[in-house]
Structure formats: C-alpha cells, structure tokens
Amino acid sequence: MKSLLQFLSEASAASMQAKKLNLKSDGHGGWLDSRGKFVATTEDGKLKFVDKKKPKGQEEPTGKPRTAAKPEPKAEPKAAPPEATDKKAVTPDGGEEESGESGDTLTMAFGRFNPPTVGHGKLLSAAKKAAAGGDLQIYPSRTQDPKKNPLDPDMKISYMKKMFPDYSENIINDDEMKSIFNVLTTAGDKGYKNVNIVVGSDRQAEFENLATKYNGDLYNFENIRVISAGVRDADAEGVEGMSASKMRKAVVDGDFDAFRRGTPKDLDDGDTQALFDAVRSGMKIKKKKEVKEMWEIAPKCDPKGLRDNYISGNIFNLGDVVESLHTGLIGEIVRRGTNHLICVTKENYMFKSWIKDVMEAVVNYPGPSGVPAKQREVGTDSNRDYAMRMTGTTSIKNFINKYKAKK
C-alpha cells in the first residue's frame, strides 16, 4: 500500500504535467482538455492518455490486410491523390505497378512536429487526400532534447490532437515507432501490400531513396509511392513559410505574437500560451535572453552559423553518432561531404542526410555510446575533459613525478 507522502507526491507530479498541457481535473483522477473531452487518467504519478493505444482485443490480426474505413454520410466526393513522384510505384525488382485496393494500402506520414505548427495542417490534409478514404496513420517521432525537440512525445501528440481534431484518430502514439523503418516494417507485418508516404517536397527524394532501397529486404511491398505535400518556401509568410524552427526561434526571442501566428486560429489563446510555455520549458529557457547559438536550436534560421561550425570541425565528425530529423534513423558518420553526411546504422543500413537535417544522438543508442569518437578515446585530452564534465570535476592534481628524487 502506498504511503500518504508517496500518494501526494505522485498526484503533484501528475498535476504539474496536466498544467503544462492546459488540462483540468474532473475531481476523480481524470483530466479534461479545453473542450471538456476526457483525455487522460492518473497512473503511478503520471498522465496516461486514454487513446494512446488500442486494447489488444481491438487490434486486427497480424498478417491480414485491414479493411478500408467506411466513408462518413454526406462525405464530399473523393479527390484525386496529390501528384506523386515520376514513379507510380516501385516494386522490389524495380518494376512499376498500379496501386492495389484501398484495404491493402496504408497512407502514412512520419515527422517531428516539434512543436506542431499550422504548416503541418497542410501535410495532414495532403495525406488525407492521398488516402482517399483508405487507412491513414500519422506517426510523430519519439526523440526529445532541449535544442530541436523540446516537447516529449505524449505532450506533443496531445497538442497535435488539439490543433488538428479531425485527425485525432489517425495520430498514432506508439513508443516503438522511432523511425520510418519501424513504421514500414510494422505495416508490412500487418499485411499491407501498398504504402503511400506523404512528405514535404524538400524531403521527397530522401524518403523515396530510403523507402525503395530496402524494399524486399526489411519489408516487401508491391507498391511504394512517396507523395509531396506541396512546395515549402522558408521565406514566405503564413502557412507556406511556417516551420517548427521558426516557432522555436520565436520562443527563444520571447515573441509570443510570432508564435501565435504559427498555430491554427481554432486553438484558443490559453492552449497557445500553454504550448509556448511548454516549448520554453523544454528548451530550458527561464527568461527572455539572446541566444548566440541559434544554429543549434533552429539551423534553418542560421545556416551560416551551422556551416561555419561544420567546416571548422566543431560538429559532425567521423565516428560521431547522429539522428536524422526526418526519418528518425540513428547511425555513425562514415563520410563527411561538403554539406552532407553518409551514416550507417547499427544494423548496417546506410543513409544520407544534409547537415541541417541531423542532430547529435546522445540517448539510448544501443551501438556506440553516442559520445563523439574523439571523446571516447581513452588517454586523450578530449576524453579527460569529457569525464571531468560528466563528474563535475573542476581540476585534477598532477601526482606524476611529485616524489621523484631531485638531482
């Protein structure tokens, strides 16, 4: 039986988490969102979202294709899917085939959404159009760090469902879906024969190369289509130019108005302020201040700073372990290009990323430690400095030759 102190401590932790999400208690251990919808319960001192996963009894048998979702009454006529790449579909042997029945096809999107923005609504809309009434699943990535991924997965997904309620059932919260490979292999295991992957136009080539390269190896689909959600213009105003990088920069600058412009109009001011505060808390920013290392937080807003540090060898060196911000793949750098990296995962799968699209991977990597290679080499100054930082050591007394007899 829990002690009173333990019970109060757990209740306090859950309340703090709920406050960040702008949730209200129902007085019985449950939590309601701003619309009054029951969304979470308190378990072991943490919020557990009731729609995080389906009960096992509701899951469809593995190996059998899912049936297409039934169209809602009075639904508008199905629109044609967005224009895909030149290849209609890519098969394991390199041939092209037409897409199969909708029940055999899964349309998916995989992204960071950290934080989610009004621009992501365009991606979800394109994915819905591509699904054309068939199965649609949206997979937010699982990575969290203070620089580029300030929101934890549960909090991020909770806000996504508030911002895009029409897609609430399609947004998947699954701890195992850490990379695009996890999503594709799971889809194959569930019996899907065809997949549509909807991405931003700037990521289309990267996803097409990865997804088709390992078809017939990691998974075996009859058709893989990588579909562009539309052209993105970083310099444009409004939805076309909105990005998570700009949102994080707005938080760093303490500019709530700029941040508000990046959220849907239907999201009320209270939820928007709560999201702003959650991002600021995740980035460990206690008050408005100038941040000199903007290239670390929002590299798209400071490409020169990013490139200068790359050319100087301060970041992304051979042997370092990095994570792709687009696909979630983690691998060791084996080649440095002028503005790109060639990396290999622990499973020996190779991927290429632009330097603006990766981050240093430092958590839970089951291969190398995640510590840069030059800091892992025992006996070097870099290894000593790293050990001192990790242990809080400020100085080391040199005992060498202390007792050597003087001549």
- H runs (alpha helix) in 105-243: 118-131, 153-163, 180-189, 204-213
Annotate 150-173 with DSSP letters as a single string: -S-HHHHHHHHHHH-GGGTTTB--
Cβ neighbour number for residue 404 with a 10 Å cutoff? 7
Amino acid symbol at 88: K
287-327 residue pLDDT tens: 655 455 777 877 877 888 899 999 999 999 999 999 998 88
Where along the chain do the CATH 2.30.30.30 domains lie?
302-391
The long-range contacts involving 182-185, CB below 8 angstroms and separated by at least 24 positions, are 182/328, 183/108, 183/110, 183/137, 183/139, 184/211, 184/218, 184/219, 184/221, 185/218, 185/219
Which pLDDT score is estimated for 59? Answer: 42
Where along the chain do the CATH 3.40.50.620 domains lie?
83-301
For helices 153-163 and 118-131, give the axis angle rounded to 10 degrees: 80
Tell me the pTM: 0.62
> Looking at the domain 83-301, which fold is it?
Rossmann fold (3.40.50)
Which pLDDT score is estimated for 27? Answer: 77
At residue 330's C-alpha, the angle toward residues 324 and 331, to 5°, is 110
Structural contact between residues 341 and 328, judged by C-beta atoms closer than 8 angstroms: no
3-state SS class at 46: strand
Q: Which residues contact 398 (CB under 8 A, 6 or more apart)?
A: none
Cβ neighbour number for residue 211 with a 10 Å cutoff? 24
Which pLDDT score is estimated for 18? Answer: 74
Question: Which residues of the chain carry a pLDDT beneath 50?
Answer: 4-5, 7, 52-100, 290, 364-371
3-state SS class at 8: helix
- H runs (alpha helix) in 32-86: none
Strand partners, 330: 323
* Pairwise CA distance, residues 190 & 221, whole Å: 12
Sheet holding 194-199, edge to edge: 135-140, 105-111, 194-199, 223-228
Which pLDDT score is estimated for 405? Answer: 55
Separation of CA 352 from chain center: 18
Which pLDDT score is estimated for 383? Answer: 65
Residues 273-287: b if buried by 16+ CB within 10 A, e if exposed:
ebbbebbbbbbebee
List Cα–Cα distances, 34 to 279, 329, 360, in angstroms: 19, 35, 36
What architecture is the 302-391 domain classified under in CATH? Roll (2.30)
Amino acid symbol at 164: F
Dihedral sign for Cα atoms in the order 142, 145, 151, 154: positive
Structural contact between residues 211 and 65, judged by C-beta atoms closer than 8 angstroms: no
